[in-house]
Copies of this chain bind each other. A is one copy, B any other.
Amino acid sequence: MNGAGALLATLAANGVNVVFANPGTSEMHFVAGLDDADVRAVLCLFEGVATGAADGYARVSGRPAATLLHLGPGLANGWANLHNARRAHSPVVNIVGDHATYHASLDAPLQSDIAAVASALEGWFTRSERADDVARDAAAAITAAVGPPGRVATLVLAADASWSEVQPGPAPLAAPPMAPGVDADALARCVRALGPRSAILLGGRLDATALKLAGQICAASGARLMMETFPAIVERGAGVVDPERIIYLSEFALHQFAEIDSLVLVGAPAPVGFFAYPDVASRLTRDDCEVITLVGPGGDVAGPLAALAAATGAAPIEVPVGEPPARPYGDLNAQSFATAVAATLPAGVVVADESNTSGVHLFGACRFAPRHRWMTLTGGAIGYGLPVAVGAAVASGTRVLALESDGSMLYTPQALWTMARERLDVTVVALANGRYAILDLERRRVGAVGADAVSERLFDLGDPRLDLAGLARSLGVTATTVTTAHELCDALERSYATSGPTVIEARLPVAF
């Protein structure tokens, strides 16, 4: 057995059975080892697809997948979606093949400072330079990735460590996830703080059970229940507690916190604006607001919420079931798009939302749809939706609905090919408004006035017009184009009833 084989055996022994791969020469022994390993390799045509898929896999399953990347450029190409994974606290095991140890000093064309690129992911990093160290390092990487909090663990595998022989032996096991207890002092402070002018702010991975506990605590204490703008994954729909989401626009979000004297953080960071804007505060809470962290970002929220529920004497609550909206008719626009999605959504779907301005009404519209899960752009690095949908579909085996704006879709369209190749049950709605519409809004928000002439051209995706259905077909995915709400509903229902991926190009005007 060689080092690559030891790595694969360690991954498999620890339940890391999927690798999203874009290999090159330095990874060939790893590829060869796949023949004998209980690890499924999913080929991606661009590294940002591989890393985003690992993020989606982790959000849905709670478990890490591996990536296989090729030296510094491979890691860099995957970096943006690893940044999103870092902000989602997704466990990811990055395998980055590198030159042989003795080749590194020669400054060959592909030589670069991989450690520097990885360091900006603020996760875990090591470099395996001896075959005998690889299995141990791989187990340490998995331990680090799983946390909690989940993080991106990057293992650089030198080519000679990969191809050199090792003594066969049992694969080392990663440490079980740490389960930190609930901080009694923080708990007591929370109990004291919760009341009519307080709120609980939830974030991270939120299932119906955790949401219900939080809802009970708030019902008992009179606190408001809030959620960060961009949680990693949250369960939603009829019968699920629905927290008040922080509005993306900090001009409005500041009002949400204006009456809050005490804020309890449960899996969310202290709320701040996504960007800074001239003459708008960056911190969303008042300066005199008491902020208590019960669980930090990426931590398990269920245990602490249960403890807090017990401490506050929270009683069971009724959660409204409601009804999804009726099917919309007429022109397609941001409102009818949202209604169409909500009216047709089957139970169990995982939504990857990168709909941006076109999705302004979406989250609200789906409030009473059948139970589903919702993923968001945690780190703000555009191009996450299609890759995360790939990983979510591999992890869950259930239907994934990717809602993707045209500008965002063009960062990582290669994900479509992997959907086709792996016959993944993904429905993509490609929202074609022909514009970087969010930038029209943001330009006004930062006060970059008088720029209409330039922005009219620099935010315009209409010359030439992107043919998103054609793009999908060129990558092997069945596609259709719709221009009315009614057609969108029909196309969605057809897609849900058909195995494999579909792209629905939805042409609509800019939302505002």
Choose the segment among A107-115, A138-146, A346-354 that binds chain B (4+ C-beta atoms closer than 8 Å).
Answer: A107-115
Contact with B along A129-149 (1 / 0, CB 8 A): 000000000000000000000
How many of A's residues come within 8 Å of B, CB to CB?
A: 101
Q: Which residues of B contact A326 (CB under 8 A)?
A: none
Q: Which residues of B contact A272 (CB under 8 A)?
A: 103, 106-108
Choose the segment among A205-213, A306-314, A442-450 that binds chain B (4+ C-beta atoms closer than 8 Å).
Answer: A442-450
A residues 420-444 near B (Cβ < 8 Å) are 420-421, 439, 442-443
Using A32-B443, A467-B474, A467-B475 as known contacts, list a sample of 11 further A-B pairs with CB atoms less than 8 Å apart, ordered by residue number in A: A31-B455, A32-B449, A32-B455, A35-B450, A43-B458, A45-B407, A76-B79, A106-B272, A108-B282, A114-B120, A467-B476
Q: Which of B108, B113, B122 contacts A120 (CB 8 A)?
A: B113
- Tell me if A381 is interfacial: C-beta within 8 Å of chain B: yes
A121 to B72, CA, bound (A): 10
- Tell me if A470 is interfacial: C-beta within 8 Å of chain B: yes
Q: Which residues of B contact A379 (CB under 8 A)?
A: 73, 109-110
From residue A263, how far is it (CB to closest CB) to chain B in Å? 15
Contact indicator A109/B87 (Cβ below 8 Å): yes
Contact with B along A437-481 (1 / 0, CB 8 A): 001001101111111011101100101111111110111110000
A148 to B396, CA, bound (A): 54
Contact indicator B421/A410 (Cβ below 8 Å): no
Contact indicator B410/A45 (Cβ below 8 Å): yes
A474 to B160, CA, bound (A): 43
Q: Which of B99, B454, B471 contacts A41 (CB 8 A)?
A: B454
Q: Which residues of B contact A29 (CB under 8 A)?
A: 446, 448
Q: Which of B103, B469, B477 contacts A276 (CB 8 A)?
A: B103
Please name the 10 residue pairs, one residue from A and one from B, whose CB atoms are nearest each other, closest first: A464-B476, A32-B451, A73-B381, A470-B474, A76-B79, A100-B276, A103-B276, A32-B448, A471-B474, A73-B80
- Tell me if A378 is interfacial: C-beta within 8 Å of chain B: yes
- Interfacial residues, chain A to chain B (CB-CB below 8 A): 21, 23-26, 28-29, 31-35, 41, 43, 45-46, 48, 71-73, 76-77, 79-80, 83, 87, 99-100, 102-103, 106-110, 112-114, 116-117, 119-120, 122, 159-160, 163, 230, 269-270, 272-276, 278, 282-283, 378-383, 407, 410-411, 413-414, 417, 420-421, 439, 442-443, 445-451, 453-455, 457-458, 461, 463-471, 473-477
